[in-house]
Amino acid sequence: MLRKNYDMVCEQIARACEKAGREKQDAKLIAVSKTKPVFMLEELYAHGCRDFGENKVQELTEKYDVLPKDIRWHMIGHLQRNKVKYIVDKVYMIHSVDSLRLAEEISKEAIKKNVTVQILVEVNVAGEESKFGLTVDETAELVEGISKLPGIAVKGLMTIAPYVENAEENRQYFRKLKQLSVDIMRKNIDNVSMSVLSMGMSGDYIVATEEGATYVRVGTGIFGERDYSQKKDNV
């Protein structure tokens, strides 16, 4: 079932790329495996999936420890500064950087461990109260600030669009994030590339791909609904 879902999502992404005149390898799928048991990740790994997304530090490191080392782990959830040290040398990319203070902590720990951490700046394009992320107007300045820190490479932008019934309602926000990344790219800031756009989830990844997503983050569409009823406190 997982493999079938995974293949179906890949196919939809390829189709959306084609529709938008993009190369299909330009939009990649991250399997969002939060709350899901290791055996499910193993099944997808055996099927060829190498990109997994987690939103809790402890869950990410536990899975990291027991799964193959060629997996690219994407930290997609809100990250507390005191947890940064546990993941800087384990993650492929941190999608959720939303302050200079967090970036400074990532930089400090990256230098200690002698790694360069790829990060995305999280933008709250729709301006939702309940969400983390910068406003569109604040983003360029933060990118510029982070670009001066050693041990960090800014690769692009990420957004979590509102939950909507009709994915078309989110097209405006994906377009806005793409435009913002183009505007920032034009500034030619040293040490900053705007090659990555992380946007689109189960409900709206097709629209996001049409609008230029280079990563879509899909959980439910691959693994089914998440069950939080037995959630342990593992933030």
Which secondary-structure segment (H or E) carries 9? helix 2-20
Nearer to ligand PLP, 22 or 34 (CB): 34
* Residue 43 beta carbon to ligand PLP: minimum distance, rounded to whole angstroms: 17
User: CA-CA distance, 128 to 207, in Å (whole number)?
Assistant: 20
List the one residue from 9, 16, 44, 76 that touches ligand PLP (CB under 6 A). 76
Task: Select from 7-15, 37-45, 175-183, 216-224 the region that touches ligand PLP (CB under 6 A).
Answer: 216-224
- Are 122 and 134 contacting, i.e. CB atoms less than 8 angstroms apart? yes
Query: How far is the C-alpha of 221 from the C-alpha of 214, rounded, in Å?
Result: 18
What is the closest distance, in whole angstroms, from the C-beta atom of residue 18 to ligand PLP in the complex? Answer: 22
d(CA 195, CA 85): 26
Our CB check for ligand PLP shows the closer of 64 and 151 to be: 64
Instruction: Choose one: 11-19, 144-152, 180-188, 215-223; the region binding ligand PLP (CB under 6 A).
Output: 215-223
Binding residue (CB under 6 A) for ligand PLP from 17, 52, 55, 118: 55
Pick between residue 93 and residue 149 the one whose CB is nearest to ligand PLP. 93
173-181 contacts at long range (C-beta below 8 A, 24 or more positions apart): 173/125, 173/126, 174/199, 174/200, 174/204, 174/207, 174/208, 174/211, 174/212, 174/213, 175/211, 176/125, 176/136, 177/123, 177/125, 178/211, 178/212, 180/123, 180/125, 180/136, 180/139, 180/140, 181/156, 181/157
Number of Cβ atoms within 10 Å of the Cβ of 107: 22
The residue range among 20-28, 141-149, 181-189, 219-227 that interacts with ligand PLP, by the rule CB under 6 A, is 219-227
Q: How far is the CB of 35 from ligand PLP (least distance, A)?
A: 9
- Minimum Å distance from CB 219 to ligand PLP? 3
- Residue 41 as a binder of ligand PLP (CB under 6 A): the answer is no
3-class secondary structure for 23-43? CHHHCEEEEECCCCCHHHHHH
56 binds ligand PLP (CB under 6 A): no
- Residue closer to ligand PLP (CB basis): 85 or 131: 131
User: Six-digit token pair at 234?
Assistant: 């593992």
Q: Least CB distance from residue 150 to ligand PLP, whole Å?
A: 27
5 binds ligand PLP (CB under 6 A): no
* Tokens 């989830």, residue located: 201
Q: Note whether 218 binds ligand PLP by CB under 6 A.
A: yes
Residues interacting with ligand PLP, by CB under 6 A? 32, 34, 55, 76-77, 160, 201-202, 217-221
